[in-house]
Amino acid sequence: MNPDLVALEILARGIAIGALVAIASGLWSGGARQPARLAGLLFCAGVSAYVINSSPQLTSAFEPAMAPIHFAALGGAGLFWLFIVALFEDRAVSPRTLAPWALLTAIGLIGWLGPKPAREAVWLVHNLVEAGFAAHALYVIWRSWRDDLVETRRRLRGPFLAVVTLYVMTLSGFEIAEGMGFFRPWFRLLGGVSLALYCSAGALVFLRARGELFGAAEPTRTAPEENDTLDAGDRATLAKLDALMGQGEVWRREGITIGALAEEVGVPEHRLRPLINDHLGFRNFAAFVNARRIEAAKRLLADPGQSRTTIAAIAYDLGFGSLGPFNRAFKEATGVTPTEYRRGGGGGEN
């Protein structure tokens, strides 16, 4: 490659790494206890390793430390997926959410250390799996858009979706093309410039790790606190919402949406969302509905008179469309599965 193009590529990748360090600093200074902050730090580390690992010039410069850097780069797309589900769906960093990273790292290790004749095919599979997880991450951003109760995060989704789509299309296209034997000298320069642009855009968003974006530590509530600054209209709205969720048990309806609930309460969605988020402490509508469902499930599972009722029947009766989502929601809330909770007589929570 032309020396001037090489210099530009290294400069672009340096800008990308600087932006990632800035993002990580913002996340760290805001505290890394929340899952999205921790996932963001892991993601920054993985992308930094990728920035170095995908450049022959930087690879040579970091030669003494390339083994751990190369390893860290193998599962970068899995860490991106982890960051997305932690940020936009408030999911915890756990063995389940780390599984994509583990899978990509395992495939990458085969491509790195496995038999030479199979390496090209393995790396092609690795790149395709990467693209699959990236595509699913984009789907996650889109599918929970309407149910998001955090206004800052709702506004972020559109730009985030656009930038990440371009990022995935650009870099995955280059990697897949190289894996199939199509390479042009300007691929790496354009890849470095793309990384610089996208990482800098991320720094603008995440340099200041705002609490409302990454999750508040306060527990969720079923009623506003006494010192909440609510006018009479908002208090009446929350009272009607509490009646519908309490005596009305609208949470039992399968597929209940915030739009349908807002219509019953008699207010627009854009007014109901901040009321549930700011004054009841919920960050997404599914968590708000499932909180009632899980409390009811705990009572039924601890009731000896319901011992012959199957777990599936309880899940369907409480508004879950299938057993899988019920089991996941219950374990996330209590730390144990519904079956374990029943066996423990209702005292099996961690």
DSSP string, 282-310: -SBHHHHHHHHHHHHHHHHHH-GGGTTS-
Which tokens in the block code for residue 67?
């083994």
> pLDDT confidence of 181, banded at 50, 70, 90?
low
CA of residue 161 relative to chain centroid, distance: 13
CATH class assigned to 232-343 = mainly alpha
169 CB contacts (<8 Å, ≥6 apart)?
none
Q: What span, in angstroms and rounded, lies between the C-alpha atoms of 66 and 58?
A: 10
27 CB contacts (<8 Å, ≥6 apart)?
37, 40, 41, 44, 206, 209, 214
Q: What percent of the chain has pLDDT over 90?
A: 44
The per-residue b/e assignment along 36-73, b for 16 or more CB within 10 angstroms, e otherwise, is bbbbbbbbbbbbbbbbbbbbebbeeebeeebeebbebb
> pLDDT confidence of 190, banded at 50, 70, 90?
confident
The domain limits of the chain are: 3-214, 232-343
Which residue do the tokens 């929570």 mark? Answer: 349
CA of residue 155 relative to chain centroid, distance: 16
pLDDT at 37: 84
Q: What span, in angstroms and rounded, lies between the C-alpha atoms of 21 and 134?
A: 22
173 CB contacts (<8 Å, ≥6 apart)?
none
pLDDT (mean) for 59-66: 88
Greater model confidence, 204 or 73: 73
User: Which residue, 30, 17, 14, 18, is CA-closest to 206?
Assistant: 30
